[in-house]
Amino acid sequence: MSKPDLSVLAALALELTPGAEPGRVAIGVQAAGELAGRVAQDLARLAPGAEDLDLVLVAGLFDPVELLRPGYPLHAELGRLAARAPGAGGGQVIGFGAGSDGLPAALAPDPAFAGGPLKLLPILLRGEPQAVAPVGEQLEQVLLDTGMAGAETALLAQSAFEVPVEHARLLTLNDLVAMMALQYEHAGVAALWPLLEAALLAPQSEQWLDAPPEPLARYADGAVRMALLDIDAWAEGGFAPADTDAARLARGFERFQMRQRQFAALLEAHGIRVTFDHCPAGRDPREILAE
C-alpha cells in the first residue's frame, strides 16, 4: 500500500456533567487501545468503509480551542506519528495513551484549559484518497445529526477518565467549527468569529473586524493586528457612544479595553498571534492596520 495522503479529522466529544472534574486527563495505553477500538466500531456503523481506514486516537481530554487552531496541529501530529507506526494501512486501529511519563508533549492537554464541560479526544482517519473521500463525505453528512457514540463507548470513556459523562458523540472538525460558532454567538463574542474562521478555514485570506463599537482588528498572513487606541483616538474613530459626559466616556473606554483583552485572549487560545498597533488620534487606524 502506498503512503496514505488523505485523512478525515474528527473527535470524540464528551459532554461532562456540570461541575464534574475528571479523575484523569489521559488514560493508559491499554485503555486507549480499547477506546479507539470502540470508536472504530461506531464509525464503521455510521459510515461503511471506515473499517478499511487507519484510525488514530489520542486518549486525552482537550478543550475545543486546542483542536481548533490553524493547521490543526494536534491532528497533524497524530498523522505524523501514525505514518511511522508499524503495519500502518488497511484498517489499523491505534490509540495513543499515557505511559509512565504521561502523553508525549505534542499530544498532551494544556493544563491552562483543564476546565469546561466539553472535552474532546482527537481522531484521525487515514488511507488512500479513493477510500477516504467517500467515508469523509458520509461522516460530514451524518455525524452532526446522528453521531451519538455507542453506549459501550460512552461507558468506557466515563470509567477510564473517572468522570460522569452526560453525552458522548462523534464529530468532524467541520462540525466542531459550526458548534463553536454557535457557542461564541451565545457567549456574546460572535463579532470575533469571522477572524477565527478565516484563520482556520482560509489561512491565506484577509479578514477585518470593523464593526464599532467592537475593537478594530485585521487578520492577514496568519496573525491578527489590533488597533491600540488611546481615549482620544477611540472617541475620534467612532468607537465611543454619543455622550459628552467625561465620566461615562472613561467608563466606556475601560469597557472597550476589556473587550480588546477578551478578544486577544480568545485568539491566542486558538493559537493565533495578536499584535497591537498604536493608532494615535488624527490618523485613520484602518490605514495603519493595512500597512
pLDDT of residue 1: 32
Q: Which residues pair with 196 in a beta bridge?
A: none
Mean pLDDT of 50-68: 96
In which band, very low, low, confident or very high, does the pLDDT at 24 lie, cut at 50, 70 and 90?
very high
DSSP secondary structure letter of residue 1: -
Provide the edge-to-edge strand list for the sheet that holds 217-220: 207-209, 217-220, 223-228, 273-278
pLDDT at 5 over 60: no
pLDDT of 4: 40
Which ranges in the chain belong to alpha helices (H)?
A: 29-46, 64-67, 73-83, 129-146, 151-161, 173-186, 193-201, 231-236, 246-269, 285-290
Is 114 buried (19+), middle (13-18) or exposed (0-12) by CB count in 10 A?
A: middle
- Identify whether 213 is preceded by a cis peptide bond (ω within 30 of 0): yes
pLDDT of residue 82: 83
How far apart, in Å, are the Cα atoms of 274 and each of 15, 157, 259, 264? 30, 36, 14, 6
Q: How many CB atoms lie within 10 A of CB 125?
A: 27
Q: What does the pLDDT look like over 149-203, one tens digit per residue?
A: 999 999 999 999 999 999 999 999 999 999 999 999 999 999 999 999 999 999 9
Q: How far apart are the first and last CA of the chain?
A: 49
Contact 4, 54 (CB under 8 A): yes
CA atoms within 13 A on the CB side of 41: 11
pLDDT tens digit sequence for 77-126: 999 988 887 666 678 999 999 988 889 899 999 999 998 999 999 999 99
> pLDDT value at position 243?
64
Report the candidate in 276, 278, 257, 274 with the shortest Cα–Cα distance to residue 266: 274
Among left, alpha and beta (phi > 0; psi -120 to 50; other), residue 261 is alpha
**Residue 94: per-residue pLDDT:** 93
The more confident residue out of 4 and 103 is 103
Percentage of residues in the chain having pLDDT higher than 70? 96
Which of 239, 21, 4 lies closest to 124, judged by CA?
A: 4
Q: What is the mean pLDDT of residues 224-235?
A: 93
User: Which residues have CB under 8 Å from 109's CB, separation 6+?
Assistant: 25, 26, 60, 61, 62, 63, 66, 103
* 189: phi then psi, degrees, rounded to nearest 5: -125, 30
Task: Provide the residue ranges of all domains of the chain, joining segments of one domain with +.
Answer: 6-186, 190-290
Instruction: Decide if pLDDT at 244 tops 80.
Output: no
57 pLDDT exceeds 50? yes
What CA–CA distance (Å, rounded) separates 115 from 19? Answer: 9
* 240, pLDDT greater than 80: no
